[in-house]
Amino acid sequence: MANRNGTQLGYFIDFALWQDALNLLRFQIEQKQSNRHFNTLSMFYYEKLNVSCLNYDSRHYFDVKIATSLFYGLKKEFAVLPYVIPKPGLGLRDCKFLTYPMRAVYYAVGLYLLKLSQEFVVETYKKIKTIESFYGGNITYKSDELQLNKKNIYYRNFHQEFRDLVKEETKSDTENKIVLKLDIENYFNELSILKLLNFLDRFIKPSIKAEMRFDTFAREQIICLFQFISYGKSGIPQSDNDILSSFIGYLYLIFGDLFIDDILVGYKNAIDSHHIIRYNDDIYISITFKYNLEPQSQSFYIHSIAAQIAEVLYSELGLKLNLKTKLYKLSQEEDKNELLKIIRKTSQSNDFIVLERENDENDHQHETSVQSPQEKLDLIFAELIKIKNSKPEDYFVRGDSTQEEIIQEVFDKGVANILDKPENKNKIRQIFEEFNFELVKVQPLEILIILLKDDVIANRFIKFCLNKDIITTGDADLIIKFLCQTGFKDDDLDLIEKLKQNIHMKDIVDIFLENKLNCRTPGYYNLSCIEMKSLSEMPDVIEQTRLRILNERSESFSVALNHLVNEIHAVCIRQKQADKTKFDVNGVVKFLQEKNVAHSIRIKVRNLFDRRNSNCVSHPGSNGGHAWDVTKEEYLDYYEHVGKCLDSLL
């Protein structure tokens, strides 16, 4: 492990993990060439960047910016930008756009958690026969080497296995079997990193924890990173193609699986067998009661089990079940059919996926009569005509319907192969003549794939987007999905610029168009990389910077101001090589004068120290005066002048 103190990331993240993180990210980007699942906003952005700065002297980059935790202060180079994407109806999902170096830092910590937990997962958890779970990948370490291949970072086979396992439960012993489908409220936002780390501390072998320095210092650093990414909120980031967020989400509920399994084992007098099947936070619990158990007794046990599961998930993991949690009695044909329908529609819980399906003879009930790709496509066309003749408001709240699964047949390889046939392209032209493109939002990705088969219609769609006065979250999502299908070509520049009209996308688009890694001007005030290089040897300064940034992000400006004072004070002490116990504000101002710092800046720095003394966070007031909170505007003014001061010093 790197020789760093407990306040720095290099205390537990070594250079090998950093290289693994870069390799994983590069490997994902490479998959864009052959797998459109990776055709997403972040991957297009990462692909076009010149990252030679990270690769040419990766060790130096790691030592200076990553291991020291200096990256916390490099706001441009290591940026995290929140945005939202639409959910069905009018719902919204919180997401994060991470710059390339920031994604690599997050991946390094995610891989650390994977490596830390792997022995426990493989040797203990995976050997429990009543539990089978998946997360859309299977990244592992073998002889300390990260194993990467096309299959273990791509969700499809894992998700299909999950669906097949649930469907298998409907085929035998259904008379006394029930399936409980658990639905967790805002799972990724509610996941507690603190609780996860506490679970790992309890369950991981002491020898592994010691080897990987998984102690109080490491746990505090991990919590800090997640707070930094989430702007002081709970949960873990959701980003497109973020396989490690999927893994962490999966890892957290491993402990939920164990609690649920213990509950079910406790009912062995009434339960003949049980099976927990999970894909991230999609949990299905199959329970087969003993054959001689009366229906009334079954109902009693079902209620008792469900109540205990809800209680343990909340008390141990801080998770709440929502109203979508449902019970299916497989002895009732209606319940069984509904469960099969849910499984057919179930997709990866992350909304960023792009489905690609092969034919599955058992996947759709209607396929017994519809076999050929053309017949499937004709059904798709019929659904599109229904959508064309409807109104946008009809889809704000969407109930259960076969429409969604029918249109998803566009991902069937056979259907995709015949979309370019002249007669089908003519039909596409007819359908989209006088089509209200607002209705593309009904199933945006699927409809866009069809729409893009006709250049004339595609150009009309572009004009429709460009003519919008307001770009809502739904509009932005629609434009991004379109651009991901067309490859963000230069011809699409007007459309990319249009995204800026959405408040959540403006800064992201600016970063996308700037197309820079920002290594030379990383965002520590206005200092260049060369000017701030000396900071990497000032851990006391970096620690104050880290704490300042965290409080800025949670908008705790009174606390942030205290760290701002400590930050400039520590720099001056280092530069002067002074005794910090005797180097007060007067010493600082005198030192700044010696360094020819402008009068206005020196005065502002003196006032900053005075403001700290009247800040209610640290002092009740100076000289008998009153203390009051620091406003954002006031803080930013002091921040700007500290930046100018550091520019003179460094």
Going by their DSSP bridges, the two strands 145-147 and 177-182 should be labelled as unpaired
Position 365 scores a pLDDT of 43
480 burial level (CB within 10 Å; 0-12, 13-18, 19+):
buried
Q: How confident is the model at residue 350 (pLDDT cuts 50, 70, 90)?
A: very low
Q: What percent of the chain has pLDDT over 70?
A: 93
SS3 24: helix
d(CA 273, CA 130): 8
d(CA 298, CA 454): 57
- Burial profile 147-165: b = 16 or more Cβ within 10 angstroms, e = fewer: ebeeeebbbbebbeebbeb
- Per the model's pLDDT, the better-predicted residue between 491 and 113 turns out to be 113
For residue range 354-391, list pLDDT tens digits in order. 444 444 444 444 444 447 999 999 999 999 999 999 98
Give the mean pLDDT of 146-168.
Answer: 95
Q: How confident is the model at residue 392 (pLDDT cuts 50, 70, 90)?
A: confident
pLDDT at 401 over 70: no
d(CA 643, CA 326): 56
Position 627 scores a pLDDT of 84
d(CA 249, CA 190): 10
Position 400 scores a pLDDT of 43
Q: How many CB atoms lie within 10 A of CB 324?
A: 11
Residue 559 phi, psi dihedral angles, 5° rounding: -70, -40
Position 580 scores a pLDDT of 83
d(CA 61, CA 330): 58
| pTM summary value | 0.93
Answer for the pair 495, 465: CB distance below 8 angstroms, yes or no: yes
For residue range 32-74, list pLDDT tens digits in order. 999 989 999 999 999 999 998 887 778 999 999 999 999 999 9
Residue 346 phi, psi dihedral angles, 5° rounding: -65, 125
The CA distances from residue 174 to 164, 170, 286, 291, 304, in Å, are 16, 6, 10, 11, 21
Position 53 scores a pLDDT of 85
pLDDT at 402 over 90: no
Position 491 scores a pLDDT of 83
- Computed over every residue of the chain, the mean pLDDT equals 91
Q: How many CB atoms lie within 10 A of CB 438?
A: 16
Q: How confident is the model at residue 266 (pLDDT cuts 50, 70, 90)?
A: very high
Q: Could you tell me which residues come within 8 angstroms of residue 169 by beta carbon, excluding any fewer than 6 positions away?
A: 177, 179, 275, 277, 284, 286, 330
Answer for the pair 136, 163: CB distance below 8 angstroms, yes or no: no
d(CA 324, CA 121): 29
Give the mean pLDDT of 219-234.
Answer: 95
Position 90 scores a pLDDT of 74
Residue 309 is which amino acid? I
Question: Checking phi first, is residue 69 left (phi over 0); if not, alpha (psi -120 to 50) or beta?
Answer: left
Position 124 scores a pLDDT of 98
For residue range 556-573, list pLDDT tens digits in order. 999 999 999 999 999 999
Q: Could you tell me which residues come within 8 angstroms of residue 604 by beta carbon, excluding any fewer than 6 positions away?
A: 637, 638, 641, 645
Position 363 scores a pLDDT of 47
Give the mean pLDDT of 580-600.
Answer: 94
Residue 102 is which amino acid? M
Position 467 scores a pLDDT of 96
pLDDT at 618 over 70: no
- Per the model's pLDDT, the better-predicted residue between 130 and 532 turns out to be 130
**Most confident residue range from 366-375, 493-502, 520-529:** 493-502
- Per the model's pLDDT, the better-predicted residue between 357 and 611 turns out to be 611
* Least confident span in 152-166, 302-316, 331-345: 331-345
Query: In terms of Cα–Cα distance, which of 252, 263, 235, 238 is closest to 133?
Result: 252
Q: What percent of the chain has pLDDT over 90?
A: 80
For residue range 194-224, list pLDDT tens digits in order. 999 999 999 999 999 999 999 999 999 999 9
- Per the model's pLDDT, the better-predicted residue between 406 and 366 turns out to be 406
Q: Could you tell me which residues come within 8 angstroms of residue 623 by beta carbon, excluding any fewer than 6 positions away?
A: none
